[in-house]
Amino acid sequence: MTKDEKNITEYSKLFSSKLLEQRKFNKVRTAVRSVEKLLCTGNGHGPFAEFNDGSVKFDFSNTYNQTLLGYTHPLKVKSDVEATLNVTSIALNSDKLKKLESMPDFKSLFYNYRDPKLTEDMLNLLIDGFFGPDERIESLTRFITAELEKLKKNNLIIKFVCTSLFFTLTPIKEPNIVKNKLLDLGVVTNVGEKNELCFFPPITLTSIHIKNAFAIIEKSLE
């Protein structure tokens, strides 16, 4: 077996095993053990992250192993495996990148999500149906905004901001109390400089994820 053949075989094994692992992380799960300090294991799928107490939570914090694509997305796995095997990356298509960078939603999202590294495959994915009028980012942002408006109408929050999936809300209650309750119920977030709760969901979010996450958010605010 040649070196290239060995790399391809190893690549296939690593890629397949990682994708199989993600099937275990498809919903919020309560803790199964006590730990002194809560840490992310790095395992997960989409918006869901596993923690060392055995729990699985929506990770909207942008502080752990979260990426723009979420946990264990096939393109993220592909990139990680290629890096492990020292596979040479392809230079980004400059015309496609310029097209993407011209879209306000893309620029806003990348600013909030700390400019995550793009691969050629990610570039192609983002151009194809994620950004632009009535595309996925805009559609999900409208869905999130509608949920935030319900919280405001029910006097659970003072105000909110939502741009390109990223959203903040200012709760009626003390922010850190709400943050800790969110953590217990299954949503990880952070408190910003202006005492607002900041949420960074991945672009692989779905309307079902939003509905389930906001059920937890609403309960934490009551």
The domain spans of the chain are 3-93
What pTM does this model have? 0.84
For 151-208, what is each residue's pLDDT tens digit? 999 999 999 999 989 999 999 999 999 999 999 999 999 999 889 999 999 988 999 9
* 53, burial (CB in 10 Å: exposed 0-12, middle 13-18, buried 19+): middle
* Residue 69 CB partners (closer than 8 Å, separation 6+): 75, 76, 122, 202, 203, 204
Mean pLDDT, range 19-38, rounded to an integer: 83
Single-letter amino acid, residue 155: N
Within 10 angstroms of residue 51's Cβ, the number of other Cβ atoms is: 21
CA–CA gap between residue 188 and residue 179 (Å, rounded): 8
Summarised one tens digit per residue, pLDDT across range 108-117 is 888 777 766 7
CB neighbour burial string for 84-113, b if at least 16 within 10 angstroms, e if fewer: eeeeeeeeeeeeeeebbeebebbebbbebb
Query: Beta-strand (E) ranges in the chain?
Result: 40-45, 48-51, 56-59, 157-163, 166-171, 187-188, 190-191, 197-199
